[in-house]
Amino acid sequence: MPERKRVLITGAAGFLGSHLCDRFIKEGFHVIGMDNLITGSLSNIEHLFKLEQFEFYHHDVSKFVFVPGELHYILHFASPASPIDYLKIPIQTLKVGSLGTHNLLGLARVKKARMLIASTSEVYGDPNVHPQNEDYWGNVNPIGPRGVYDEAKRFQEAITMAYHTYHDLETRIVRIFNTYGPRMRLDDGRALPAFMGQALRGQDITVFGDGSQTRSFCYVDDLVEGIYRLLFSDYVNPVNIGNPDEITIKEFAEEIIALTGTSQKIIYHPLPTDDPKQRRPDITRAQQILGWKPKVSRKEGLKITYDYFKNLPEFK
């Protein structure tokens, strides 16, 4: 049997990282997970520890990173990724996107590995162009509460392109739009876990602002498929991966109220600073280059996700 290709996944114990670990194991790779467990949880990858094709390093990628042996691919998914986390740990958020990316690019060079970075729709900030395509440069407030994430991710794209241009490193950049599914953290402050957690605890549903701001939610399996295709494509510029099915946050809250059958009502809280008014990916590039588009409807995806939350020990 040929040797398994070896992939390093940072942020392996997080929501997206853990789903990527599962996918690469399923595809026959040797997966090396890395996480400092600040926002990730070992429960997301506990099922992998019994496999000999999986190993795990408890390490902070903002510090020098070393992995013995060959590495063919690096997927950098370590980062806090919700507004509540950026407020709690802003410096770590900046460091993992900047210093962490630099360390991993250095590792990729030494190992001659291909590196894919997790960028984000946050690079578009509060967008003046709708829907957002990859040629839009964005509207970001560098010193606002989201600035630590947005600017780290913009720097991350810049340094990754520089390593590609000046060091001939093989690189890929995915811009991830709002994604949901099992293993999201209930307390991460994002709309979906907040609403589902509130429904399960019998609390009112907290919509921020008047709820007219929009988002477009992608189910995690669709996202992972897009990332997988991008890694094995030869395309170097950023690619949006997300679901263009746009909805206002008020309607989203109503969908979750209907799904969960909660008798709680919506209550309105002030809109957080710099909360983007609208967001929807233009996925033309992903469709043309990767032959990719999302398959899971919000109805299906929300049901799977709610079943996951409902079965957490806290609610049994």
**By CB under 6 A, is residue 208 in contact with ligand UDP?**
yes
Q: Pick the stretch among 15-23, 92-100, 202-210, 305-313 that binds ligand UDP (CB under 6 A).
A: 202-210
Which residues ranging from 170 to 189 are in contact with ligand UDP (CB under 6 A)? 178
Biggest CA-to-CA distance, the chain: 59
Which residues ranging from 33 to 52 are in contact with ligand UDP (CB under 6 A)? none
Would you give the binding string for ligand UDP spanning residues 240-269, x where CB under 6 A is met?
Answer: ---------x--------------------
Instruction: In whole angstroms, give the CA distance from residue 284 to residue 114.
Output: 24
Catalytic choice (73, 86, 124, 149): 149
Whichever of 90 and 272 has its CB closer to ligand UDP, that residue is 272
Kind and range of the H or E run holding 106: helix 99-111
At CA 68, angle to CA 66 and CA 74, rounded to 5? 65
Active-site residue flag, 149: yes
Q: Pick the stretch among 71-79, 208-216, 299-307, 308-316 that binds ligand UDP (CB under 6 A).
A: 208-216
The two tokens of residue 198 are 């509130």
Min dist. Cβ of residue 272 to ligand UDP (A): 5
The two tokens of residue 266 are 């919506």
Whichever of 33 and 127 has its CB closer to ligand UDP, that residue is 127
Whichever of 10 and 178 has its CB closer to ligand UDP, that residue is 178
Q: Are residues 156 and 119 in contact, defined by beta-carbon separation less than 8 angstroms? A: yes
Distances (CA, A) of 187 to 153, 160, 193, 195, 227: 23, 31, 7, 11, 26
**By CB under 6 A, is residue 298 in contact with ligand UDP?**
no
Sign of CA dihedral 143, 147, 151, 152: positive
Q: Are residues 249 and 190 in contact, defined by beta-carbon separation less than 8 angstroms? A: no
- Where do contacts with ligand UDP occur on this chain (CB under 6 A)? 82-83, 178, 190-191, 194, 206-208, 213, 215, 249, 272, 275
Active-site residue set: 149
